[in-house]
């Protein structure tokens, strides 16, 4: 198939992406509190291989929930971003940070319970600390501070991770959000946390940075579904709070739909994520075992997406885009979806 759409540039807010191939966020490189040289080299390598946009792995905005030793709320982060951008900017790849808070899934920095929407146990077996009004406001401000730091460090955008069962999605969830105050109950209350986070970010950075949100339907009975995600997306767009939507699928209830392995075919997320994204007028980014630019081109031409995530495919071969563009698609080292990126203690693909 002639590859046409996949190499077309696309404007996302103030940022011109050089092509339609995105490496959506993946963690696994963040084992040190500071950005290591390895971390920086990894991203710059994806840029040299032709990736259009990389979204840095989820990292915490506030010490009340930690995913890795690495976080976004410390003073040195701006220097770290500048080092990263010095290495990756010359490649032409654009870079967003993913702003994350794990709520009831991951503990606080001191090992205590993570701050969460409620005290309903999370899927990692932890009872979070139900947030007070003051705690909610503190975390909202933390998101905005992290966006300001991303701008100071020269990044092109930020993404609020409101999928996969993390704090913003816990607020959205009819199952986890049992609050009776202004943050719980009907969807117009459950959405308030995400709205306030995005309002605070937009107020802090204006239109200088691209703002993305990652959404997903849960596969858990009682979790947030496709129809409510569509309403969320419409509400965010109505206020001009987002420049792009990145729709994934699933949460910790079903890891096998969140990061589908060999049993899932190419595009397995699209029946769910494409339906959510269909109500958007901002650029739509979809994921789900895309391994070749031919497959990506087909999805783009179908009109269901404007951008395609290729995460594990670019772990397997960082030169996927450039090799294919040069007519050497058969030389690409293919991703088989084995989900063994941490073998041998170092992040990578295979043995």
Ligand X SMILES: Cc1cc2nc3c(=O)[nH]c(=O)nc-3n(C[C@H](O)[C@H](O)[C@H](O)COP(=O)(O)O)c2cc1C
Contact between 266 and ligand X by CB under 6 A: the answer reads no
Burial 170-204 (b: 16+ CB within 10 A, else e): bbbbbbbbebeeebbeebebbbbbbbbbbbbbbeb
Q: Among 19-27, 73-81, 112-120, 196-204, which window interacts with ligand X (CB under 6 A)?
A: 19-27
Contact between 296 and ligand X by CB under 6 A: the answer reads no
Contact between 272 and ligand X by CB under 6 A: the answer reads no
Contact between 66 and ligand X by CB under 6 A: the answer reads no
Compute the least distance from the CB of residue 39 to ligand X, in Å: 13
Q: Shortest CA distance to 209 belongs to which of 275, 264, 265, 143?
A: 143
Q: Shortest CA distance to 113 belongs to which of 100, 104, 101, 124?
A: 104
Burial 148-162 (b: 16+ CB within 10 A, else e): bbbbebebbbbbbbb
- By beta-carbon proximity to ligand X, the closer residue of 117 and 296 is 296
- By beta-carbon proximity to ligand X, the closer residue of 26 and 151 is 26
**Residues 6+ away with beta carbon under 8 Å from 59:** 27, 30, 67, 68, 70, 71, 72, 97, 98, 99, 100
Distance CA 312, CA 291 (A): 8
Contact between 292 and ligand X by CB under 6 A: the answer reads no
Contact between 348 and ligand X by CB under 6 A: the answer reads no
Contact between 198 and ligand X by CB under 6 A: the answer reads no
Contact between 220 and ligand X by CB under 6 A: the answer reads no
Residues in contact with ligand X, shown as a per-residue x/- string from 105 to 144 under the rule CB under 6 A: ----------------------------------------
The interface with ligand X within residues 148-167 (CB under 6 A) comprises 161
Q: Shortest CA distance to 30 belongs to which of 21, 20, 39?
A: 39
Distance CA 113, CA 106 (A): 8
* Residue 294 C-beta-side C-alpha neighbours within 13 Å: 6
Residues binding ligand X: number (CB under 6 A): 22
Among 233, 290, 299, 323, binds ligand X (CB under 6 A): 290
- By beta-carbon proximity to ligand X, the closer residue of 64 and 266 is 266
Contact between 341 and ligand X by CB under 6 A: the answer reads yes
- By beta-carbon proximity to ligand X, the closer residue of 71 and 98 is 98
Compute the least distance from the CB of residue 216 to ligand X, in Å: 9
Helix (H, G, I), strand (E, B), or coil: what is residue 136? helix
The interface with ligand X within residues 222-251 (CB under 6 A) comprises 248
Q: Which residues bind ligand X (CB under 6 A)?
A: 24-28, 57-58, 98, 161, 214, 248, 259, 287-290, 309-313, 341
């Amino acid at each position: 198939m002639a590859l046409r759409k996949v190499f077309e540039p696309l404007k996302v807010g103030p940022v011109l992406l050089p092509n339609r191939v995105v490496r959506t966020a993946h963690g696994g490189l963040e084992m040190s509190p500071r950005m290591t040289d390895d971390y920086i080299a990894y991203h710059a390598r994806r840029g040299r291989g032709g990736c259009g946009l990389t979204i840095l792995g989820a990292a915490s905005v506030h010490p009340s929930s930690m995913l890795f030793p690495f976080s976004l709320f410390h003073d040195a982060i701006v220097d770290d971003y500048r080092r990263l951008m010095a290495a990756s900017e010359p490649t032409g790849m654009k870079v967003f940070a993913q702003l994350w808070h794990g709520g009831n899934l991951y503990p606080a920095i001191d090992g205590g319970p993570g701050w969460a929407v409620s005290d309903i146990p999370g899927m990692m077996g932890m009872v979070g600390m139900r947030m007070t009004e003051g705690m909610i406001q503190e975390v909202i401000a933390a998101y905005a501070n992290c966006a300001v730091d991303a701008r100071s460090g020269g990044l092109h955008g930020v993404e609020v991770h409101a999928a996969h069962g993390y704090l913003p999605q816990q607020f959205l969830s009819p199952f986890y959000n049992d609050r009776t105050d202004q943050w719980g109950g009907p969807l117009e209350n459950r959405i308030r946390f995400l709205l306030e986070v995005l309002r605070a970010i937009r107020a802090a950075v204006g239109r200088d940075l691209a703002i993305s949100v990652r959404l997903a339907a849960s596969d858990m009975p009682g979790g947030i579904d496709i129809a409510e995600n569509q309403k969320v997306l419409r509400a965010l767009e109505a206020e001009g709070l987002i420049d792009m939507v990145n729709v994934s699928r699933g949460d910790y209830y079903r890891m096998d739909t969140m990061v589908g392995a060999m049993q899932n075919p190419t595009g397995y997320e699209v029946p769910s994520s494409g339906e959510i994204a269909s109500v958007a007028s901002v650029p739509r980014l979809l994921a789900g075992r895309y391994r070749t630019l031919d497959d990506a081109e087909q999805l783009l031409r179908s009109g269901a997406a404007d951008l395609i995530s290729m995460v594990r495919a670019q772990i397997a071969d960082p030169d996927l885009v450039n090799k294919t563009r040069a007519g050497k698609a058969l030389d690409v080292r293919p991703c088989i979806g084995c989900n063994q990126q941490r073998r041998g203690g170092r992040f990578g693909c295979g043995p």
